[in-house]
Amino acid sequence: MSDVIELRGFSKHFGAHPVLNGIDLAVRQGEVVVILGPSGCGKSTLLRCLNGLEQGSAGELRFNGERLDARSDWRAVRQQVGMVFQSYQLFGHLRVLDNILLGPLRVQKRAPQEAQAQALALLERVGLADKALAWPRELSGGQQQRIAIVRALCMNPKVMLFDEVTAALDPEMVKEVLEVILDLAEAGMTLLIVTHEMAFARAVADRIVFMDGGRIAEQSPPEAFFSNPQTARAQQFLERFSYVENLPRRKAS
């Protein structure tokens, strides 16, 4: 199948500080790519470059085969590349339904009835049909994050970007958000996911991209990556996670 997103020699620096360094990455239609890597390695910056919240400094970025740069019509691209953030970012002055409909109505100028019907169907799908008229601050973190996902989905994007969307959640709410993402993966949507939930990464990914210091250090299918990482950095990275999971019980005093 064709590549939806294609990066070639893509680099980004903030001032003199290089953050992305010659990234080569191609994402196929319907593929689920999970990006792992230590803090500060450039995962968020990479996602933000894909919908133009940051502009690359060198190299090439293509979306559906079309080359994108600072002069491209990013408003059109963003309607096809939905993004969900760690801290939900619902708009506090709008009720849930109006949060979801802002893009469809103001940007896409869709018919209100049709857009609203889709919004309600999506709310139903994430189990929040009864929250359409709630204010964001009345909702739990997990609920807000599911609404944020619906807000992005209601634009009918081709690709969804998830940047550590469960990192700010209490453990008991992580599941409800991950289930929604799994559901999207099952439905064949193209997803790029940054996460620190290793078990989830393993379960959802078609491919793991491991980044380190602004480069892609290795790319492998999830089973291969988790059982047999190729680079020393990836091994260290995974050891730190398994260390926490396999922490031996403290001897009773």
Partner 1 sequence: MATSGFELLWQTAPQLATGAGRTLAISACGIALATVLGLAYGIGRTLGIAWLDRSLRVYLAAWRAIPVLVWLYLFFFGLPMFLGLSVPAFACVVCVLGLWGASEVGEVVRGALRSLPAGQRDAALAIGLGRLQAYAWVLLPLARKRMTPGVINVYTRIIKTSSLAVLIGVVDVTKIAQQIIERTYASVTLYSFLFVFFFLACYPLSVLSRRLEQRWSH
Ligand X SMILES: Nc1ncnc2c1ncn2[C@@H]1O[C@H](COP(=O)(O)OP(=O)(O)OP(=O)(O)O)[C@@H](O)[C@H]1O
Asked if 45 is part of the footprint of Mg ion (rule: CB under 5 A), the reply reads no
Q: What is the phi/psi pair of residue 150, to 5°?
A: -60, -40
Alpha-carbon torsion angle 4, 10, 15, 16, nearest 10: 160
First to last CA, the chain: 60
| DSSP summary character for residue 247 | P
155 contributes a contact to partner 1 by CB under 8 A: yes
Cβ proximity to partner 1, 51 vs 143, nearer residue: 51
* Strands 190-194 and 32-36, sheet pairing: parallel
Structural contact between residues 211 and 42, judged by C-beta atoms closer than 8 angstroms? yes
In sequence order, the 6+-apart residues with CB closer than 8 A to the CB of 232 are none
Interface residue with Mg ion among 11, 21, 44, 116 (CB under 5 A) is 44
* SS3 category, 43: helix
Q: Which is nearer to ligand X, 44 or 99 (CB)?
A: 44
Position among 79, 156, 219, 230 found at the interface with partner 1 (CB under 8 A): 79
- Residue 174 C-beta: closest distance to partner 1, Å: 20
Shortest distance (Å) from residue 107 CB to partner 1: 4
Number of residues that bind ligand X (CB under 6 A): 11
Binding mask 30-69 for partner 1 (x = CB under 8 A): ------------------x--x-x----------------
Residue 151 Cβ vs partner 1, minimum distance, rounded to whole Å: 7
Residue type, 118: Q
- Binding residues for partner 1, rule CB under 8 A, total 28
184 binds, among ligand X, partner 1, Mg ion, none (CB under 5 to 8 A by kind): none
Edge-first strand order for the sheet with 207-212 is: 81-84, 159-163, 190-194, 32-36, 207-212, 215-220
Q: Which does 166 bind (CB under 5 to 8 A by kind): ligand X, Mg ion, partner 1, none?
A: none
Residue 111 CA to residue 114 CA, distance in Å, equals 6
List the interface residues with ligand X, window 30-89 (CB under 6 A): 37, 39-45
Q: Per DSSP, what are the bridge partners of residue 118?
A: none
Minimum distance between the CB of residue 37 and ligand X, rounded to whole angstroms?
A: 6
Choose one: 18-26, 78-86, 164-172, 190-198; the region binding partner 1 (CB under 8 A): 78-86
In 3D space, the residue among 11, 85, 23 whose CA is nearest the CA of residue 211 turns out to be: 23
Q: Give dist(CA 86, CA 84) in Å, integer.
A: 7
Q: Which residue has the tokens 């209601």?
A: 154
The binding site for ligand X (CB under 6 A) comprises: 14, 17, 19, 37, 39-45
The binding site for partner 1 (CB under 8 A) comprises: 48, 51, 53, 75-76, 78-79, 82-83, 85, 87, 89-94, 102-103, 106-108, 135, 137, 148, 151-152, 155
The binding site for Mg ion (CB under 5 A) comprises: 44
